[in-house]
Structure 1
């Protein structure tokens, strides 16, 4: 079968190599999935790019945690899934249900376990979520990391309600899913971007307010002045944006710290955290399969469609990595294996 391996960490992604592998056979508790589509996250760049680091990576590895496909063979002990089931690949295959724990997220797909950028892959049957009927394989391939992270932070951890407000930084995968889930719940949403075109698209997706952060550099203060702060911030920038996110938060609000796209450098003053009783909580492990199931039920009930910016062919994988690195996308970038 055809597959890609990250064989070396290189800044130009030349270490991502197409290879021929034997088609795997499922163990007794596993299923074999024919992968139809996969999608990229910044995490995948961190694994493949020598300028970034991702703890626990063991090379070579088949990359990408986000994938969707059809079950084509089942192990002898599997009862939950059968051939023909449409499934999404897991981020943490050992986290089926319950609270997060170190042993549940010790193995991560596309990190230290082979991932979805291959024609076929095996996974524990209990780790796989069934795709919503309203989604294609390409749309289903966007859910595993970005979709489930946004869902967990706002709905599972944040218990978001319709009368609350959300600030979403940027228009990448997690941020766009957060916008969609918050809008689906009836909450009002702020979205920031440096692109007026992307902000217009965000308004079409349901954003109540938009801010161009190059024009409004003190956007944390601006959000505080406009609405008295927000209840939830989806913080993907890290230390470079965290101070302004805290400024934008209302009393007893929550900052969901997910990414470090702005880099590791920066200083955060604790004063506003103390004065407003702000909760700043890091996100680790994305989410369990049980959370994935609940998210998929909500997606199907609302007929929500993930935003796909661009789809690349299987032979264009390195180009897809470079496109994501450029940061011009809105929503998810998909690689089709069909």
Structure 2
């Protein structure tokens, strides 16, 4: 018999992490013909989850939403017309549930877990079969729970433009040690690329080198790190792919590092907003492509998972894993930037 109720977190209001409310026995909706009931084993958090709870997320969020987009678990039951999964399968959630392939559109953009649609911070969740992928066989549940947002964003950044897809011998520049940046280091090295990483700490620099970074630039010691990165490329022609997580505060340096016809994938604004930032004209002057990224499609997810298995790539998970009942503490731990890599919550 499938369970009838579930423990779940929801966001009630915009009062910071105190907006997170735990319900002990919430009813599980009746399974539709194309639905899959998943027992969630692990959830990983993203910066997006923190700012949704604080009420400063710049996109619409449904009142009373179950938060978090990232989760891994096992299939408990399937609807009568489900063909992609069976009970016992290990699965991972897709960020935008309707983004199956190709470009985003208005419909798929409105299906983000943990914002527009109920997310993963619950013991049992019902998802359309199209919004799940099979979990890579070489990963455990904590590791697999990190793939939904950060890993797929990194993969899309490197492979999302087919004409500019990452090739062996290309040079990739990553910024910092957040989830997307670390995945980008791992994917780029697996593809035979040279990786230049930036960070502000000697300890983190050592870790980046262990993950495969060929060069690490401390941006506090080298504020003009864009030119430094360019000088490290063969012939000093510049970097092929830049994973831009800082936003306006770091874009000027990224433009100094990029090569002609290189791609800057803009995936965040961790450095905050600033009036002092480059203009569209700078893209012309540097003859490059600047591309906004919002995660990726299910087809890209499946491509990425094959690469993860083939190269035995393991996500970097913070050594502190929180219990489901400690969700508020997990949010605060991440907000205080005490984590390295991805931060996970054990659910089941």
TM class, shorter-length: over 0.9
Q: Give 1:177's aligned residue.
A: 183
Q: Give 1:137's aligned residue.
A: 141
Q: d(CA) in 2 for partners of 1:167 and 1:118?
A: 36
Q: d(CA) in 1 for partners of 2:338 and 2:174?
A: 17
Answering whether residue 156 of structure 2 is matched by residue 147 of structure 1, we say no
Q: Give 2:229's aligned residue.
A: 223
Equivalent position SS for 2:250: helix
Q: d(CA) in 1 for partners of 2:338 and 2:173?
A: 20
Q: Which residue, 225, 229, 241 being the options, matches 2:250? A: 241
Q: TM-score scaled to structure 1, two decimals?
A: 0.96
1:191 Cα deviation from its structure 2 partner: 0.9
Q: Give 2:3's aligned residue.
A: none
Q: Give 2:208's aligned residue.
A: 202
CA displacement, residues 107-140 of structure 1 (integer Å, 9 cap, x when unaligned): 1100011000000001110221000111111111
1:97 Cα deviation from its structure 2 partner: 2.0
Q: Give 1:94's aligned residue.
A: 98
Asked if the contact 1:25/1:32 (under 8 Å) is kept, the reply is no
1:270 Cα deviation from its structure 2 partner: 4.6
Q: Give 1:301's aligned residue.
A: 310
Q: Give 2:62's aligned residue.
A: 58
1:188 Cα deviation from its structure 2 partner: 0.6
Q: d(CA) in 1 for partners of 2:160 and 2:278?
A: 27
Q: Give 1:22's aligned residue.
A: 27
The ranges of structure 1 where at least 4 consecutive aligned residues each deviate by more than 6 angstroms after the TM superposition are none
Q: Which residue, 19, 31, 35 being the options, matches 2:36? A: 31
Q: d(CA) in 2 for partners of 1:199 and 1:191?
A: 8
Q: d(CA) in 1 for partners of 2:327 and 2:166?
A: 36
Equivalent position SS for 2:242: strand
Asked if the contact 1:24/1:120 (under 8 Å) is kept, the reply is no
Unpaired runs of 5+ in structure 2? 1-5
Unpaired runs of 5+ in structure 1? none
Q: Which residue, 156, 160, 169 being the options, matches 1:163? A: 169
Equivalent position SS for 1:14: helix
Q: Give 1:278's aligned residue.
A: 288
1:327 Cα deviation from its structure 2 partner: 2.2
Asked if the contact 2:9/2:121 (under 8 Å) is kept, the reply is yes
Answering whether residue 340 of structure 2 is matched by residue 336 of structure 1, we say no
Asked if the contact 1:252/1:277 (under 8 Å) is kept, the reply is yes
Q: Give 2:332's aligned residue.
A: 322
1:3 Cα deviation from its structure 2 partner: 0.7
Asked if the contact 2:48/2:57 (under 8 Å) is kept, the reply is no
1:262 Cα deviation from its structure 2 partner: 0.9
1:271 Cα deviation from its structure 2 partner: 5.2
1:272 Cα deviation from its structure 2 partner: 4.2
Q: Give 1:261's aligned residue.
A: 270
CA displacement, residues 169-201 of structure 1 (integer Å, 9 cap, x when unaligned): 111110110110001101011111111111110
Q: TM-score scaled to structure 2, two decimals?
A: 0.93
Q: d(CA) in 2 for partners of 1:270 and 1:62?
A: 38
1:275 Cα deviation from its structure 2 partner: 2.6
Q: d(CA) in 2 for partners of 1:288 and 1:88?
A: 13
CA displacement, residues 207-248 of structure 1 (integer Å, 9 cap, x when unaligned): 000011111111112112332221110001111111111111
Equivalent position SS for 2:300: helix
CA displacement, residues 54-93 of structure 1 (integer Å, 9 cap, x when unaligned): 3111121110000000010101111111101100011111
Q: CA-atom RMSD, angstroms?
A: 1.3
Asked if the contact 1:190/1:209 (under 8 Å) is kept, the reply is yes
Asked if the contact 2:230/2:256 (under 8 Å) is kept, the reply is yes
